[in-house]
Structure 1
Amino acid sequence: MPVRVLVVDDSSFFRKRLTEILNGDNHIEVVGAAINGKEAIELVKKLKPDVVTMDIEMPVMDGITAVRKIMQSDPLPILMFSSLTTDGAKATLDALEAGATDFLPKRMEDISQDRESAKRQLCARVRLIGARGLQKGPLLAAKPQFAAPAPKPAPGLRRGKFRLVAIGTSTGGPVALQQVLTGLPASFPLPILLVQHMPASFTPAFAERLNKLSAIRIKEACDGDRLENGCAYLAPGGMQLLLEERHGGAVIRIVESRPGQTYKPSVDVTFGSASKLFGADVLAIVLTGMGADGREGARMLKHGGASVWAQDKGSSVIYGMPAAVVEAGLADKVLALNAIGPSLMEVV
């Protein structure tokens, strides 16, 4: 059964181009197209697609407003198309907070320099989020529920002298990170490393947004930053975040990605570096995301005696990265998203 897609964009050229690419995949069927957000809402009710691809800037009704209304009335996976600019980053983050599942650059060459590879990645993303929606599970369980009472921490958690928290995530991560980090007090006693698969133009805006919403300090990591308690450091898009010891303290190194590295930044790279410097004193957490980035880093951490948590399937937008850790037998605890913040406070 193919994934049924509604394409929403005010550009007739882009609608046609995207429709041709998606219909070229045997597992995808474009069932309709809309030229603005208002028409999209009407066609979602009429056609009941499995996935909507949504532009942000459109006449009559913009994509962010349309996402919010669709998620209130007929929730389903929505893939945003965004320009890789500062304004595009802010708008995309607004769309994710409104309930969109994921985003991709609007220019195919920004997905991959190889056009055929870009097409394959686009279709794979649509198939994956479509399959997640078809599971009939809580698609947006990762959406913050700030009015809900905080759950009790999970039982049986290791309490110890942790010196670092490291969190890795991808699809669904912006909203998941927001929920975890906004629940931490300004007095949180450890530094936190954040690795979110995200373009270079997005990470400054994302760090700024998290910092405004959170009691702890959150910044985009810079080369030479010294780790401080109560501060979270977001790995810059397109780069790799490493740690080294300098003058008796831990310092962040931001380095270029090597040729062939799929993820920029990579959870595996940062987890592995944290393992070398902090050994057993790391608490690593793998949140929602596509693929298996974080599994090999978690393996290194476990070999060094560190603790690893994974988000559970029910609260993950995409149960890929956490599943890879769990299925490899590397997770000490599997927790619902809304239990991670309280459990963090319990163990530190």
Structure 2
Amino acid sequence: MIKILIADDSVFIRKILTTILEKDPLLKVIGNAKNGEEAVALCKELNPDVMTLDVDMPKLNGLEVLERIMPTNPLPVLMVSSLTSEGAETTLKALELGALDFIPKLSKSGGLNVFNIESDLIEKVKAVAHRKAIMQRNLKNKTLLNNNPSRSTLLSGTGSSYQPTHVSSLASVTRNTSRPTKDVVAIGVSTGGPPAVQKILSGFEADFPAPILIAQHMPASFTGPFAARLNNICKIQVKEAEHGERPRPGWAYVSPGGKHLSLEGRMGSLTLSVREEPKDALYKPSANVLMESVSLLGRRALGVILTGMGSDGMEGMKILKQKGGRVLAQNEASCVVYGMPKAVVDANLADEVVDIENMSVAILNNIYQ
């Protein structure tokens, strides 16, 4: 049984969310908080497995709630977010503070989103619930390290097989050739993606030698603010992709939500395509569409699949591998949801399985091998 706390100042929204969640026999709403202070108190008192958290609440807003609970009592949080540019900015900040994902904000009239989000909400709650144990173990390890730094070697890999590595420049990366062997990096990602993408891109210097194309499952109103936020943080340039522009080294291009990003042309005259077709794709943007498109570069393409539900990207990676491209997949221990990478790994398509802490290094090494 997955225990859920709902934090929202609207009685109507609390009731609707409870009704939706308890349609699944594995989900149980154990508490409701009508303001931020109650949310913090009930997290401690009821020890829920997952919390849905509204942003605009009395006493403490959603961001302030995250600032209170994540340092001492972390748990999986799904933000209830309005699909506006303002809602996007707040939600992206919430993800930086430790929230794992978001769901669309319901209208108090009942309207459009009540039934549209039902399966998505249930699926996301189930997908993120397992992260609670990992989040609390990480907090415990961090506390032990702070109290006893000599244990850092023992605990640095707890729960996974990695040793954290940080790169400050391309000089830190092993190069087997003086020139890059890859002309494009394509990234497919979904649930848990924004912090993962931020971690990767912030590990690159401004002279990164290839363009980076990103298919992040995200609403149309979110992708522009997401790209702008990354651009303010990273040394490379980041922007929302535009149809017909030529991709440049040292730039990352985020696919607009509701459309597909792909690569067209041939060496020396490559352009970005931003289109609605194929309209029947399950996700827009689609990682499958992106990965299949970059396969036109064959062995000079690098595909990266990150955290996310489902299997988007796996079919595209098959084609990329057939054309000689190389594939990296995020490891299970560092994924919010080990769905998309698992599909790639299970299909024996991954050349390397990498912890998110080391993904920047792995990408750079693959660009020069």
Instruction: Measure, in 2, the Cα distance between the counterparts of 1:5 and 1:228.
Output: 45
Query: Residue deviations 1:38-77, cap 9 Å, x none?
Result: 1111000000000000001111100011112211111110
Question: Residue 331 of structure 1: SS of its match in structure 2?
Answer: coil
Q: Could you tell me which amino acid in structure 1 is paired with residue 287 of structure 2? A: V
Measure the CA separation in 1 of the matches of 2:320 and 2:241. 22
* Cα distance change on mapping 1:86 and 1:59 into 2, 3 Å: same
CA RMSD, 1 decimal: 2.6
8 Å contact kept, 2:18–2:29? yes
> What are structure 1's unaligned runs of at least 5 residues?
141-147
Which residue matches 1:262? Answer: 282
Give the alignment partner of residue 203 of structure 1, picking from 214, 223, 227: 223
> 1 CA distance for matches of 2:248 and 2:167?
28
Aligned partner letter, 1:320:
G
Whether 1:294 aligns to 2:313 is: yes
Q: Which of 185, 191, 197 lines up with 2:205 in the alignment?
A: 185
Q: 1:114 to 1:100 in 2, by over 3 A?
A: closer
**Could you list the runs of 5+ residues in structure 2 that have no partner in the other structure?**
140-163
Q: Deviations over 1:210-251 (max 9, x none)?
A: 000000000000001101111010000000112211794110
Q: CA deviation at 1:322?
A: 0.7
Listed one character per residue, the Cα deviations across residues 145-182 of structure 1 (whole Å, up to 9, x for unaligned) are: xxx761799x9999761111111111111000000001
1:208-247 alignment runs, 5 A limit: 208-245=228-265
CA distance in 1, matches of 2:137, 2:238: 29
Q: CA deviation at 1:347?
A: 3.2
Cα deviation 1:111-153 (Å, max 9, x = unaligned): x97965531221121112113435678679xxxxxxx761799
Distance 1:241 1:104, change over 3 A: same
Measure the CA separation in 1 of the matches of 2:360 and 2:91: 25
- Name 1:127's counterpart in structure 2: 126
Partner of 1:29: 28
Q: Flag the 1:120–1:302 CA change in 2: closer, same or farther, 3 A.
A: same
Matched, 1:312 2:311: no
Matches within 5 A, 1:45-194: 45-107=44-106, 116=115, 118-134=117-133, 150=166, 161-194=181-214
Identity of aligned residues (%): 44
Whether the aligned pair in 1 keeps the contact of 2:307 and 2:336 (CA below 8 Å) is yes
Q: CA deviation at 1:252?
A: 0.5
Residue identity in the other structure for 1:287: L
* 1:197–1:138 distance in 2 versus 1, CA, 3 Å: farther
Q: Distance in 2 between matches of 1:4 and 1:128?
A: 13
Counterparts of 2:71 and 2:224, CA distance in 1: 29
Distance in 1 (alpha carbons) for counterparts of 2:132 and 2:277: 33
Deviations 1:186-217 (A, max 9, x none): 01111110111000000000000000000000
TM-score, normalising length from structure 1? 0.90
Deviation of residue 345 (structure 1)? Answer: 2.5
Based on CA coordinates, which of the two structures has the bigger radius of gyration? 2
Q: What is the CA–CA distance in structure 2 between the aligned matches of 1:336 and 1:150, rounded to whole Å?
A: 12
Classify the secondary structure of the residue corresponding to 2:130: helix
TM-score, normalised via structure 2 length: 0.85
CA change 1:158–1:138 in 2 (3 A) is: farther
Output the amino acid matched with 1:18.
L
Moved over 4 A (4+): 112-117, 134-140, 155-160
